[in-house]
Structure 1
Amino acid sequence: MNSSQQDKTDVQRRDPAPSRLAYKAHRLWLTPVFRAFLRVGLPVFAVLMATGWYLANPTNRYAIGEKLTNVKRSVQERPEFLVKLMAVEGATPVVDNAVRQILPIDFPISSFDLDLERMRVEIMKLDVIEDADLRIRPGGVLEVALTERQPVILWRHGGVIDMLDAGGHRVASLLDRSARSDLPLITGEGAADAVPEARAILSTAGPLRSELRGLIRVGERRWDVVLKSDQRIQLPADNPVAAFEQVIALHQAQDLIGRDLVVIDMRNPQRPTLRLGETAMNELRRINGVEIEEVSQ
Protein backbone atom coordinates (compact mmCIF):
# COMPACT_ATOMS: atom_id res chain seq x y z
CA MET A 1 0.00 0.00 0.00
CA ASN A 2 1.46 3.25 -1.09
CA SER A 3 1.47 6.43 1.00
CA SER A 4 -1.48 8.01 -0.74
CA GLN A 5 -3.68 5.05 0.02
CA GLN A 6 -2.56 5.04 3.69
CA ASP A 7 -3.46 8.73 4.09
CA LYS A 8 -6.86 8.09 2.58
CA THR A 9 -7.49 5.28 5.02
CA ASP A 10 -6.54 7.50 8.04
CA VAL A 11 -8.89 10.20 6.85
CA GLN A 12 -11.74 7.72 6.62
CA ARG A 13 -11.09 6.44 10.17
CA ARG A 14 -10.79 9.91 11.88
CA ASP A 15 -14.15 10.97 13.44
CA PRO A 16 -14.57 14.77 13.35
CA ALA A 17 -17.22 14.72 16.19
CA PRO A 18 -15.98 15.56 19.77
CA SER A 19 -15.58 12.82 22.28
CA ARG A 20 -18.34 12.09 24.80
CA LEU A 21 -16.31 13.58 27.69
CA ALA A 22 -15.49 16.73 25.75
CA TYR A 23 -19.14 17.10 24.76
CA LYS A 24 -20.31 16.83 28.38
CA ALA A 25 -17.66 19.27 29.58
CA HIS A 26 -18.67 21.76 26.93
CA ARG A 27 -22.36 21.44 27.81
CA LEU A 28 -21.55 21.88 31.51
CA TRP A 29 -19.58 25.05 30.82
CA LEU A 30 -22.54 26.48 28.95
CA THR A 31 -24.75 26.01 32.05
CA PRO A 32 -25.28 29.43 33.79
CA VAL A 33 -25.33 27.92 37.26
CA PHE A 34 -21.99 26.19 36.77
CA ARG A 35 -20.38 29.28 35.34
CA ALA A 36 -21.70 31.38 38.26
CA PHE A 37 -20.35 28.80 40.69
CA LEU A 38 -16.89 29.00 39.17
CA ARG A 39 -16.89 32.79 39.12
CA VAL A 40 -18.49 33.46 42.52
CA GLY A 41 -19.20 30.33 44.51
CA LEU A 42 -15.77 28.81 44.34
CA PRO A 43 -13.90 31.98 45.46
CA VAL A 44 -16.40 32.55 48.26
CA PHE A 45 -16.04 28.96 49.39
CA ALA A 46 -12.27 29.33 49.39
CA VAL A 47 -12.47 32.53 51.44
CA LEU A 48 -14.85 30.92 53.95
CA MET A 49 -12.59 27.91 54.30
CA ALA A 50 -9.58 30.15 54.91
CA THR A 51 -11.52 32.28 57.42
CA GLY A 52 -12.78 29.20 59.27
CA TRP A 53 -9.30 27.80 59.46
CA TYR A 54 -7.99 31.11 60.82
CA LEU A 55 -10.78 31.50 63.40
CA ALA A 56 -10.38 27.94 64.55
CA ASN A 57 -7.35 29.14 66.50
CA PRO A 58 -8.49 30.65 69.89
CA THR A 59 -5.53 33.05 69.88
CA ASN A 60 -6.64 34.52 66.58
CA ARG A 61 -10.23 34.91 67.81
CA TYR A 62 -9.08 36.67 70.99
CA ALA A 63 -6.86 39.03 69.00
CA ILE A 64 -9.73 39.97 66.69
CA GLY A 65 -12.10 40.51 69.66
CA GLU A 66 -9.59 42.76 71.38
CA LYS A 67 -9.10 44.76 68.23
CA LEU A 68 -12.84 45.26 67.73
CA THR A 69 -13.29 46.24 71.38
CA ASN A 70 -10.54 48.81 71.20
CA VAL A 71 -12.01 50.31 68.04
CA LYS A 72 -15.47 50.43 69.61
CA ARG A 73 -14.22 52.08 72.79
CA SER A 74 -12.16 54.61 70.83
CA VAL A 75 -15.35 55.68 69.04
CA GLN A 76 -17.60 55.69 72.12
CA GLU A 77 -15.15 57.72 74.19
CA ARG A 78 -14.84 60.51 71.71
CA PRO A 79 -15.57 63.94 73.28
CA GLU A 80 -18.80 64.42 71.33
CA PHE A 81 -20.26 61.26 72.90
CA LEU A 82 -19.30 62.03 76.52
CA VAL A 83 -22.00 63.02 79.07
CA LYS A 84 -20.54 65.38 81.65
CA LEU A 85 -23.44 66.22 83.99
CA MET A 86 -27.11 65.58 84.83
CA ALA A 87 -29.86 68.21 84.98
CA VAL A 88 -33.07 67.35 86.86
CA GLU A 89 -35.99 69.56 85.82
CA GLY A 90 -39.49 69.92 87.27
CA ALA A 91 -38.59 68.45 90.68
CA THR A 92 -38.53 69.80 94.21
CA PRO A 93 -35.16 69.74 96.01
CA VAL A 94 -36.15 66.60 97.93
CA VAL A 95 -37.12 64.72 94.77
CA ASP A 96 -34.05 66.04 92.96
CA ASN A 97 -31.83 64.57 95.66
CA ALA A 98 -33.73 61.26 95.61
CA VAL A 99 -33.31 60.92 91.84
CA ARG A 100 -29.58 61.56 92.06
CA GLN A 101 -29.29 58.86 94.72
CA ILE A 102 -31.18 56.40 92.53
CA LEU A 103 -28.89 57.18 89.57
CA PRO A 104 -25.34 57.32 91.01
CA ILE A 105 -23.61 58.07 87.69
CA ASP A 106 -19.88 58.70 87.65
CA PHE A 107 -19.39 61.54 85.16
CA PRO A 108 -18.00 61.89 82.56
CA ILE A 109 -19.43 58.79 80.94
CA SER A 110 -20.05 57.71 77.36
CA SER A 111 -23.62 58.09 76.17
CA PHE A 112 -23.36 54.52 74.85
CA ASP A 113 -23.02 53.29 78.44
CA LEU A 114 -26.30 54.92 79.58
CA ASP A 115 -29.44 52.78 79.43
CA LEU A 116 -32.05 55.55 79.47
CA GLU A 117 -35.04 53.19 79.56
CA ARG A 118 -33.70 51.27 82.55
CA MET A 119 -32.96 54.54 84.32
CA ARG A 120 -36.51 55.75 83.65
CA VAL A 121 -37.92 52.54 85.14
CA GLU A 122 -35.88 53.10 88.30
CA ILE A 123 -37.09 56.70 88.62
CA MET A 124 -40.74 55.69 88.12
CA LYS A 125 -40.48 53.52 91.23
CA LEU A 126 -40.72 56.72 93.28
CA ASP A 127 -44.34 57.23 94.33
CA VAL A 128 -44.08 60.97 93.88
CA ILE A 129 -43.17 60.68 90.18
CA GLU A 130 -46.05 60.69 87.72
CA ASP A 131 -43.94 60.74 84.56
CA ALA A 132 -40.27 60.94 83.61
CA ASP A 133 -38.51 61.71 80.34
CA LEU A 134 -34.77 61.20 79.87
CA ARG A 135 -32.69 62.43 76.96
CA ILE A 136 -29.15 63.54 76.23
CA ARG A 137 -28.92 67.18 75.23
CA PRO A 138 -26.17 68.63 73.04
CA GLY A 139 -23.18 69.60 75.10
CA GLY A 140 -23.07 66.35 77.09
CA VAL A 141 -26.00 66.97 79.47
CA LEU A 142 -28.28 64.18 80.67
CA GLU A 143 -31.67 65.86 81.05
CA VAL A 144 -34.19 64.26 83.43
CA ALA A 145 -37.57 65.98 83.04
CA LEU A 146 -39.96 64.98 85.82
CA THR A 147 -43.67 65.45 86.47
CA GLU A 148 -44.50 65.13 90.16
CA ARG A 149 -47.81 63.97 91.54
CA GLN A 150 -49.70 66.75 93.30
CA PRO A 151 -51.18 65.80 96.69
CA VAL A 152 -54.84 66.77 97.07
CA ILE A 153 -55.93 64.78 100.10
CA LEU A 154 -54.58 62.99 103.19
CA TRP A 155 -55.36 59.38 104.08
CA ARG A 156 -54.94 58.21 107.66
CA HIS A 157 -54.61 54.44 107.99
CA GLY A 158 -52.83 52.18 110.43
CA GLY A 159 -51.25 55.09 112.25
CA VAL A 160 -49.77 56.43 109.01
CA ILE A 161 -50.77 59.54 107.09
CA ASP A 162 -50.23 59.36 103.33
CA MET A 163 -50.65 62.15 100.83
CA LEU A 164 -52.66 61.03 97.79
CA ASP A 165 -53.10 62.58 94.36
CA ALA A 166 -56.41 63.05 92.55
CA GLY A 167 -56.40 59.43 91.41
CA GLY A 168 -55.72 58.00 94.87
CA HIS A 169 -52.06 57.21 94.17
CA ARG A 170 -49.69 57.62 97.09
CA VAL A 171 -47.37 60.62 96.87
CA ALA A 172 -45.54 60.56 100.20
CA SER A 173 -46.06 60.07 103.94
CA LEU A 174 -46.38 62.67 106.68
CA LEU A 175 -45.19 62.49 110.26
CA ASP A 176 -47.68 65.09 111.45
CA ARG A 177 -51.11 66.12 110.17
CA SER A 178 -50.29 69.76 110.78
CA ALA A 179 -47.56 69.63 108.13
CA ARG A 180 -50.30 69.80 105.48
CA SER A 181 -53.25 71.25 107.34
CA ASP A 182 -54.43 72.73 104.03
CA LEU A 183 -55.41 69.29 102.73
CA PRO A 184 -58.63 67.50 103.73
CA LEU A 185 -58.43 64.22 105.62
CA ILE A 186 -60.04 60.88 104.86
CA THR A 187 -59.77 57.64 106.77
CA GLY A 188 -61.18 54.15 106.76
CA GLU A 189 -60.56 50.92 104.88
CA GLY A 190 -60.68 51.43 101.12
CA ALA A 191 -60.76 55.21 101.34
CA ALA A 192 -57.84 55.57 98.94
CA ASP A 193 -59.82 53.75 96.25
CA ALA A 194 -62.64 56.32 96.41
CA VAL A 195 -60.68 59.58 96.37
CA PRO A 196 -62.60 61.03 93.37
CA GLU A 197 -65.91 60.52 95.19
CA ALA A 198 -64.50 62.00 98.40
CA ARG A 199 -63.31 65.08 96.52
CA ALA A 200 -66.74 65.46 94.92
CA ILE A 201 -68.35 65.46 98.37
CA LEU A 202 -65.82 67.95 99.72
CA SER A 203 -66.28 70.25 96.74
CA THR A 204 -69.97 70.68 97.62
CA ALA A 205 -69.33 71.51 101.31
CA GLY A 206 -69.83 75.23 100.70
CA PRO A 207 -70.76 76.91 104.01
CA LEU A 208 -69.71 73.82 105.97
CA ARG A 209 -66.17 73.73 104.60
CA SER A 210 -64.72 75.48 107.66
CA GLU A 211 -66.55 73.02 109.92
CA LEU A 212 -65.27 69.87 108.22
CA ARG A 213 -62.88 67.59 110.07
CA GLY A 214 -62.78 64.84 107.48
CA LEU A 215 -64.47 61.88 105.83
CA ILE A 216 -64.65 58.30 107.11
CA ARG A 217 -65.07 55.40 104.72
CA VAL A 218 -67.58 52.94 106.17
CA GLY A 219 -67.74 49.35 104.98
CA GLU A 220 -65.74 50.26 101.87
CA ARG A 221 -69.00 51.46 100.28
CA ARG A 222 -70.14 54.79 101.77
CA TRP A 223 -68.95 57.92 103.63
CA ASP A 224 -69.52 59.63 106.96
CA VAL A 225 -68.83 63.37 107.11
CA VAL A 226 -67.30 64.33 110.46
CA LEU A 227 -67.52 67.94 111.67
CA LYS A 228 -65.34 69.74 114.17
CA SER A 229 -68.23 69.70 116.65
CA ASP A 230 -68.08 65.86 116.51
CA GLN A 231 -71.34 65.81 114.60
CA ARG A 232 -71.55 63.13 111.96
CA ILE A 233 -73.47 63.15 108.67
CA GLN A 234 -74.09 59.61 107.42
CA LEU A 235 -74.28 59.59 103.62
CA PRO A 236 -75.76 56.84 101.44
CA ALA A 237 -73.70 54.57 99.21
CA ASP A 238 -75.56 55.79 96.13
CA ASN A 239 -75.40 59.45 95.12
CA PRO A 240 -73.82 60.75 98.34
CA VAL A 241 -73.22 64.21 96.84
CA ALA A 242 -76.97 64.85 96.41
CA ALA A 243 -77.63 63.74 100.01
CA PHE A 244 -74.90 66.06 101.31
CA GLU A 245 -76.33 68.95 99.29
CA GLN A 246 -79.70 68.24 100.91
CA VAL A 247 -78.14 68.56 104.37
CA ILE A 248 -76.48 71.83 103.38
CA ALA A 249 -79.81 73.18 102.12
CA LEU A 250 -81.48 72.27 105.42
CA HIS A 251 -78.66 73.93 107.33
CA GLN A 252 -78.98 77.14 105.35
CA ALA A 253 -82.74 77.17 105.86
CA GLN A 254 -82.98 76.07 109.51
CA ASP A 255 -79.45 76.22 110.95
CA LEU A 256 -79.45 72.44 111.16
CA ILE A 257 -75.78 72.04 112.10
CA GLY A 258 -76.13 74.70 114.79
CA ARG A 259 -78.62 72.59 116.69
CA ASP A 260 -77.78 70.01 119.38
CA LEU A 261 -77.52 67.03 117.02
CA VAL A 262 -75.11 64.11 117.16
CA VAL A 263 -75.94 62.30 113.93
CA ILE A 264 -77.73 63.33 110.75
CA ASP A 265 -78.61 60.03 109.09
CA MET A 266 -79.05 60.45 105.34
CA ARG A 267 -78.57 56.82 104.41
CA ASN A 268 -82.18 56.92 103.25
CA PRO A 269 -82.50 60.39 101.71
CA GLN A 270 -86.28 60.00 101.59
CA ARG A 271 -86.45 59.65 105.38
CA PRO A 272 -83.67 61.65 107.08
CA THR A 273 -83.15 60.75 110.73
CA LEU A 274 -81.75 63.02 113.45
CA ARG A 275 -80.10 61.83 116.64
CA LEU A 276 -80.27 64.47 119.36
CA GLY A 277 -77.47 65.38 121.72
CA GLU A 278 -77.67 64.73 125.46
CA THR A 279 -78.76 68.28 126.31
CA ALA A 280 -81.51 68.23 123.70
CA MET A 281 -82.68 64.81 124.87
CA ASN A 282 -82.91 65.99 128.48
CA GLU A 283 -84.87 69.04 127.39
CA LEU A 284 -87.16 66.85 125.31
CA ARG A 285 -87.75 64.55 128.29
CA ARG A 286 -88.49 67.55 130.49
CA ILE A 287 -91.00 68.92 127.99
CA ASN A 288 -92.65 65.54 127.57
CA GLY A 289 -92.83 65.14 131.34
CA VAL A 290 -94.55 68.48 131.73
CA GLU A 291 -97.03 67.65 129.02
CA ILE A 292 -97.83 64.31 130.64
CA GLU A 293 -98.31 65.98 134.03
CA GLU A 294 -100.68 68.57 132.56
CA VAL A 295 -102.69 65.88 130.83
CA SER A 296 -103.03 63.86 134.05
CA GLN A 297 -104.32 66.95 135.89
Structure 2
Amino acid sequence: MTVAALLSVTGIMGEMGADLSASLSHFARDEGFVVQSVTVSGRSVVKAGDVLAALDIERGDAILEVDLEAARERLMALSWVQAASVERRLPDAIHVTLVERRPMALWQTGGRMHLVDQNGIAIEGEGAQLALYAKLPLIVGDDAPKYAAELIELLAREPSIGNRVQAAIRVSKRRWNLKLDNGVEIRLPEQGVAAAWDRLATMERTERLLSRDIVVVDLRQPDRMVVRLSDGAVQQMAVPPAKNT
Protein backbone atom coordinates (compact mmCIF):
# COMPACT_ATOMS: atom_id res chain seq x y z
CA MET A 1 0.00 0.00 0.00
CA THR A 2 1.38 3.42 -0.92
CA VAL A 3 1.74 6.24 1.60
CA ALA A 4 -0.96 8.26 -0.16
CA ALA A 5 -3.37 5.32 -0.09
CA LEU A 6 -2.62 4.69 3.56
CA LEU A 7 -3.38 8.31 4.42
CA SER A 8 -6.66 8.10 2.55
CA VAL A 9 -7.69 4.92 4.26
CA THR A 10 -6.63 6.30 7.62
CA GLY A 11 -9.11 9.15 7.26
CA ILE A 12 -11.91 6.81 6.30
CA MET A 13 -11.20 4.36 9.09
CA GLY A 14 -11.01 7.17 11.62
CA GLU A 15 -14.61 8.03 10.77
CA MET A 16 -15.83 4.41 10.79
CA GLY A 17 -14.80 3.46 14.33
CA ALA A 18 -12.06 2.52 16.76
CA ASP A 19 -11.96 -1.18 15.85
CA LEU A 20 -11.30 -0.57 12.17
CA SER A 21 -8.82 2.17 13.00
CA ALA A 22 -6.94 -0.20 15.30
CA SER A 23 -6.88 -2.86 12.61
CA LEU A 24 -5.40 -0.39 10.15
CA SER A 25 -2.82 0.69 12.71
CA HIS A 26 -1.72 -2.91 13.23
CA PHE A 27 -1.51 -3.37 9.48
CA ALA A 28 0.55 -0.21 9.14
CA ARG A 29 2.94 -1.41 11.86
CA ASP A 30 3.40 -4.71 10.02
CA GLU A 31 4.15 -2.74 6.85
CA GLY A 32 6.90 -0.78 8.59
CA PHE A 33 5.01 2.41 9.44
CA VAL A 34 6.71 2.85 12.81
CA VAL A 35 8.76 5.71 14.22
CA GLN A 36 12.42 5.35 13.32
CA SER A 37 13.60 8.94 13.71
CA VAL A 38 12.66 12.27 15.28
CA THR A 39 14.07 15.45 13.77
CA VAL A 40 13.89 18.94 15.23
CA SER A 41 14.39 22.33 13.60
CA GLY A 42 14.56 25.72 15.30
CA ARG A 43 16.18 24.40 18.47
CA SER A 44 19.01 26.46 19.92
CA VAL A 45 18.54 26.82 23.67
CA VAL A 46 15.94 24.15 24.44
CA LYS A 47 17.67 20.95 25.51
CA ALA A 48 17.29 17.98 23.18
CA GLY A 49 16.46 15.75 26.14
CA ASP A 50 13.62 18.06 27.18
CA VAL A 51 12.18 17.94 23.66
CA LEU A 52 12.28 14.15 23.54
CA ALA A 53 10.77 13.85 27.02
CA ALA A 54 7.93 16.21 26.08
CA LEU A 55 7.23 14.32 22.85
CA ASP A 56 7.05 11.00 24.71
CA ILE A 57 7.62 9.16 21.45
CA GLU A 58 9.94 6.18 21.16
CA ARG A 59 11.48 4.36 18.25
CA GLY A 60 9.21 1.53 17.21
CA ASP A 61 5.96 3.28 18.15
CA ALA A 62 3.20 2.96 15.55
CA ILE A 63 3.48 6.26 13.72
CA LEU A 64 -0.26 6.45 13.01
CA GLU A 65 -1.02 6.17 16.73
CA VAL A 66 1.10 9.17 17.71
CA ASP A 67 -1.13 11.93 19.11
CA LEU A 68 0.43 14.93 17.40
CA GLU A 69 -1.67 17.55 19.19
CA ALA A 70 -0.95 16.13 22.64
CA ALA A 71 2.76 16.07 21.82
CA ARG A 72 2.60 19.70 20.65
CA GLU A 73 0.85 20.76 23.86
CA ARG A 74 3.56 19.13 25.94
CA LEU A 75 6.21 20.97 23.95
CA MET A 76 4.36 24.26 24.48
CA ALA A 77 4.63 23.69 28.23
CA LEU A 78 8.43 24.01 28.01
CA SER A 79 9.51 27.41 29.30
CA TRP A 80 11.67 28.33 26.30
CA VAL A 81 9.13 27.31 23.63
CA GLN A 82 7.03 30.09 22.13
CA ALA A 83 5.49 28.00 19.33
CA ALA A 84 5.72 24.40 18.18
CA SER A 85 4.40 22.07 15.52
CA VAL A 86 4.66 18.27 15.23
CA GLU A 87 4.11 16.38 11.97
CA ARG A 88 4.33 12.87 10.59
CA ARG A 89 6.64 12.28 7.69
CA LEU A 90 5.57 8.87 6.52
CA PRO A 91 6.59 6.19 6.53
CA ASP A 92 8.76 6.45 9.65
CA ALA A 93 9.70 9.99 10.79
CA ILE A 94 8.35 12.61 13.18
CA HIS A 95 9.45 16.20 12.59
CA VAL A 96 9.25 18.99 15.18
CA THR A 97 9.51 22.70 14.41
CA LEU A 98 10.20 25.04 17.33
CA VAL A 99 10.14 28.79 17.76
CA GLU A 100 12.11 29.68 20.86
CA ARG A 101 11.51 32.70 23.05
CA ARG A 102 13.94 35.62 22.67
CA PRO A 103 15.05 37.07 26.02
CA MET A 104 15.06 40.86 26.19
CA ALA A 105 15.60 41.46 29.93
CA LEU A 106 16.67 39.88 33.20
CA TRP A 107 13.99 39.96 35.88
CA GLN A 108 14.81 39.89 39.57
CA THR A 109 11.96 38.77 41.80
CA GLY A 110 11.72 36.88 45.07
CA GLY A 111 15.48 36.70 45.35
CA ARG A 112 15.77 34.84 42.04
CA MET A 113 16.68 35.78 38.49
CA HIS A 114 14.59 34.97 35.43
CA LEU A 115 14.70 35.89 31.77
CA VAL A 116 11.81 37.73 30.14
CA ASP A 117 10.88 37.57 26.46
CA GLN A 118 9.46 40.26 24.16
CA ASN A 119 5.92 39.38 25.26
CA GLY A 120 6.67 39.77 28.96
CA ILE A 121 6.70 36.00 29.55
CA ALA A 122 9.11 34.74 32.20
CA ILE A 123 11.57 32.09 31.03
CA GLU A 124 13.16 29.64 33.41
CA GLY A 125 16.93 29.80 33.14
CA GLU A 126 19.82 28.02 34.80
CA GLY A 127 23.04 29.69 35.90
CA ALA A 128 24.86 29.08 32.64
CA GLN A 129 21.92 30.31 30.57
CA LEU A 130 21.54 33.42 32.70
CA ALA A 131 25.23 34.16 32.27
CA LEU A 132 24.80 34.22 28.49
CA TYR A 133 22.35 37.10 28.86
CA ALA A 134 24.15 39.00 31.62
CA LYS A 135 24.30 42.17 29.50
CA LEU A 136 20.53 42.43 29.14
CA PRO A 137 18.76 45.18 31.12
CA LEU A 138 17.88 44.21 34.68
CA ILE A 139 14.27 44.87 35.72
CA VAL A 140 12.89 44.66 39.25
CA GLY A 141 9.27 44.57 40.43
CA ASP A 142 6.30 42.22 40.48
CA ASP A 143 4.75 43.63 37.30
CA ALA A 144 8.01 44.65 35.61
CA PRO A 145 7.84 42.01 32.83
CA LYS A 146 4.46 43.34 31.67
CA TYR A 147 5.95 46.76 30.93
CA ALA A 148 9.49 45.73 29.98
CA ALA A 149 8.95 45.95 26.21
CA GLU A 150 7.71 49.54 26.48
CA LEU A 151 10.69 50.46 28.65
CA ILE A 152 13.25 48.93 26.30
CA GLU A 153 11.65 50.70 23.36
CA LEU A 154 11.94 53.95 25.32
CA LEU A 155 15.61 53.38 26.13
CA ALA A 156 16.34 52.69 22.48
CA ARG A 157 15.14 56.21 21.55
CA GLU A 158 18.30 57.60 23.13
CA PRO A 159 20.88 54.80 23.17
CA SER A 160 23.63 57.09 24.51
CA ILE A 161 21.69 57.10 27.79
CA GLY A 162 19.71 53.88 27.40
CA ASN A 163 22.85 51.76 27.04
CA ARG A 164 24.04 53.08 30.41
CA VAL A 165 20.98 51.81 32.28
CA GLN A 166 22.05 48.95 34.53
CA ALA A 167 18.76 48.42 36.34
CA ALA A 168 15.12 49.51 36.09
CA ILE A 169 13.01 49.34 39.24
CA ARG A 170 9.24 49.35 38.97
CA VAL A 171 7.84 51.69 41.66
CA SER A 172 4.38 51.00 43.14
CA LYS A 173 3.35 49.29 39.88
CA ARG A 174 3.07 52.75 38.28
CA ARG A 175 6.41 54.00 37.00
CA TRP A 176 10.17 53.34 36.70
CA ASN A 177 13.34 54.41 38.48
CA LEU A 178 16.47 53.85 36.38
CA LYS A 179 19.97 53.26 37.73
CA LEU A 180 22.84 54.32 35.46
CA ASP A 181 26.33 52.87 35.34
CA ASN A 182 27.70 55.83 37.34
CA GLY A 183 25.11 55.43 40.11
CA VAL A 184 22.82 58.27 39.04
CA GLU A 185 19.13 57.52 39.58
CA ILE A 186 16.59 58.75 37.02
CA ARG A 187 13.02 58.95 38.28
CA LEU A 188 10.60 58.67 35.37
CA PRO A 189 7.00 59.92 35.62
CA GLU A 190 3.86 57.82 35.52
CA GLN A 191 2.50 59.75 32.51
CA GLY A 192 4.35 61.49 29.67
CA VAL A 193 7.34 59.18 29.92
CA ALA A 194 8.55 59.73 26.34
CA ALA A 195 8.47 63.51 26.70
CA ALA A 196 10.39 63.33 29.97
CA TRP A 197 12.98 61.03 28.42
CA ASP A 198 13.43 63.42 25.50
CA ARG A 199 13.94 66.33 27.92
CA LEU A 200 16.64 64.38 29.70
CA ALA A 201 18.33 63.53 26.40
CA THR A 202 18.33 67.20 25.38
CA MET A 203 19.91 68.22 28.69
CA GLU A 204 22.54 65.52 28.32
CA ARG A 205 23.46 66.65 24.82
CA THR A 206 23.62 70.36 25.67
CA GLU A 207 24.77 70.36 29.30
CA ARG A 208 26.38 66.94 29.87
CA LEU A 209 24.05 66.68 32.85
CA LEU A 210 24.69 63.04 33.67
CA SER A 211 28.44 63.59 33.95
CA ARG A 212 28.05 66.08 36.75
CA ASP A 213 28.34 65.43 40.47
CA ILE A 214 24.68 64.45 40.99
CA VAL A 215 22.83 61.47 42.42
CA VAL A 216 19.20 61.94 41.26
CA VAL A 217 17.42 63.38 38.25
CA ASP A 218 13.71 63.64 39.03
CA LEU A 219 11.49 63.91 35.92
CA ARG A 220 8.16 63.29 37.62
CA GLN A 221 6.93 66.86 37.18
CA PRO A 222 6.00 67.73 33.58
CA ASP A 223 7.14 71.35 33.85
CA ARG A 224 10.42 70.96 35.70
CA MET A 225 13.46 68.80 36.22
CA VAL A 226 14.73 68.41 39.79
CA VAL A 227 18.39 67.49 40.27
CA ARG A 228 19.86 66.36 43.58
CA LEU A 229 23.56 66.96 44.11
CA SER A 230 25.84 64.45 45.76
CA ASP A 231 26.82 65.08 49.40
CA GLY A 232 30.30 66.02 48.29
CA ALA A 233 28.98 68.62 45.88
CA VAL A 234 26.69 70.07 48.55
CA GLN A 235 29.54 70.32 51.04
CA GLN A 236 31.76 71.96 48.47
CA MET A 237 29.11 74.57 47.78
CA ALA A 238 28.74 75.24 51.52
CA VAL A 239 32.44 76.07 52.02
CA PRO A 240 32.90 79.86 51.89
CA PRO A 241 35.48 81.15 49.45
CA ALA A 242 38.89 81.92 50.88
CA LYS A 243 39.54 85.59 51.68
CA ASN A 244 42.47 87.43 50.15
CA THR A 245 44.89 88.70 52.81
Report the counterpart of residue 68 of structure 2 in structure 1: 116
Residue type at the aligned position of 1:269: P
Partner SS state of residue 118, structure 1:
helix
Residue 171 (1) aligns with residue 123 (2): yes
1:279 aligns with 2:223: no
Counterpart Cα distance in 2 of 1:133 and 1:158: 34
**5 Å matches for 1:1-297?**
71-72=23-24, 74-92=26-44, 94-175=46-127, 178-287=131-240
Deviation at residue 173 of structure 1 after TM alignment: 2.2
Give 5+ residue unaligned stretches, structure 2: 1-18
- 1:72 positional shift: 4.4
* SS of 1:77 mapped into structure 2: helix
Q: CA separation in 2, counterparts of 1:175 and 1:205? A: 31
Amino acid in the other structure paired with 2:55: L
Pair 138,282 (structure 1): closer, same or farther in 2 beyond 3 Å: same
Deviation at 1:160, TM superposition (A): 1.3
Structure 1: which 5+ residue stretches go unaligned?
Answer: 1-66
CA deviation digits over 1:59-86, x for unaligned, max 9? xxxxxxxx97984454232325322111
Identity of aligned residues (%): 27
In structure 2, give the amino acid aligned to 1:170: A
What SS does the aligned partner of 1:257 have?
Answer: helix
Q: Which runs of 4+ in 1 moved over 4 A?
A: 67-73
Q: Name the structure with the higher helix share.
A: 1
Give the count of matched residue pairs.
Answer: 224
Q: Structure 1 residue 180: deviation in Å?
A: 1.7
Give the counterpart letter for 1:169 in structure 2.
I
Residue-by-residue CA offset, 1:129-155 (whole Å, 9 max, x unaligned):
111111111341100111111111111
Change (3 A) 1:74 1:162: closer
Backbone CA RMSD of aligned residues: 2.4
What is the CA–CA distance in structure 1 between the aligned matches of 2:157 and 2:126, rounded to whole Å?
26
Higher Cα radius of gyration? 1
> CA, structure 1 residues 94+70, in 2 after alignment: closer, same or farther (shift >3 Å)?
closer
Letter in 1 for 2:124: A
State the SS of the aligned residue for 2:221. coil
TM-score for both structures, normalised by structure 1: 0.69
> Is the contact between residue 152 and residue 183 of structure 1 (CA under 8 Å) also seen in structure 2?
yes
Alpha-carbon distance, 1:207 to partner: 1.6
Rounded to whole Å, the distance in 2 between the matches of 1:69 and 1:148 is 35
Amino acid at match of 1:266: L
Distance 1:139 1:68 in 2: 20
CA deviations 1:27-82 (Å, max 9, x no partner) are: xxxxxxxxxxxxxxxxxxxxxxxxxxxxxxxxxxxxxxxx9798445423232532
Partner Cα distance (2:29, 2:236) in 1: 88
Q: 1:268 to 1:93 in 2, by over 3 A?
A: closer
- Asked whether the equivalents of residues 134 and 145 of structure 1 are also in contact (C-alpha less than 8 Å), the reply is yes
Question: Where does residue 4 of structure 2 map in the other structure?
Answer: none
